[in-house]
Amino acid sequence: MTRESREGEQVDDCGLVFREMTAYPSSFRPDQIKGIPRPPLELPPNPGSTPIPLPRPEEIQIEPMDLRVAIEKRRSVRRFDDEEPLSLEELAYLLWCTQGVQEVVLEQYILRTVPSAGAAHPLETYLLVIHVEGLTPGIYRYLSLDHALQLVNSHPEIALAVTEGCMEQQMVLRSAVTFLWTAVPYRTTWRYGPRGYRDIYIDAGHVCQNLYLAAGSIDCGVCAIESFRDDYMNRLLGLDGKTQFLIYCAAVGKIQQGL
């Protein structure tokens, strides 16, 4: 990709182009300042699928783990015990730790268990469920405001399709669940303009780090996945790739003994 920078020279480095395109111009006026209404806090549920309630966070009993221990133990794990499933309570705990809603302020902002620039929280959580007690394998979406799941796709070969989209990384197929985070960029760009795209990627890092740290307390391993076929995965999830797109993934499963 080539374009002229502010100084007029030709720029070929896509990283530099990204930084240039997302810098604040002197005349910057975001949609928020223009009085355009804030976008919805969350995508609406699919009316054709009944939400599945999850165990409430305050009712989930998890063995405490010292924060320093959790940080010191943090490792990427690519081999899981595919004979041992996650419980629904454990999955609910991981969802709450990564995108849990603590408070909705004046129906305008969400305070979650992770930070987000301007409390925009542009991420939506999809899950490839393979081995979770009480759930049919398939792709689900986390309805964070209701703390519930909604089935999106239960095709018998959906796990193979997601594995293919993740560059054939077999840890996806062996996982109990793979988190698939998508971004709705306008939630952030409404306030920050093009610079908001920087914030979206930072937000994804916050969320994935919470997943790593939370998983250690339930004897699970995590491996973040950045390598995936964008267009393929967006089509698989039914996304247009512009107003919503896949941004990050992470496979999760019980740690195989001896590793």
Cα 44 versus chain centre, distance: 17
pTM of the entire structure? 0.92
The β-bridge partners of 249 are: 180, 225
Q: What is the pLDDT of residue 258?
A: 60
185: DSSP letter: T
pLDDT in tens, 135-155: 999 999 999 999 999 999 999
> Which range among 26-30, 119-123, 178-182, 222-226 shows the weakest confidence by mean pLDDT?
26-30
pLDDT in tens, 100-142: 999 999 888 999 999 999 999 999 999 999 999 999 999 999 9
**Residues 6 or more apart in contact with residue 143 via CB below 8 angstroms:** 42, 45, 51, 149, 150
Q: What is the pLDDT of residue 1?
A: 46
First and final CA of the chain: distance in angstroms?
43
Q: With left for phi above 0 and alpha for psi between -120 and 50, is residue 221 left, alpha or beta? A: beta
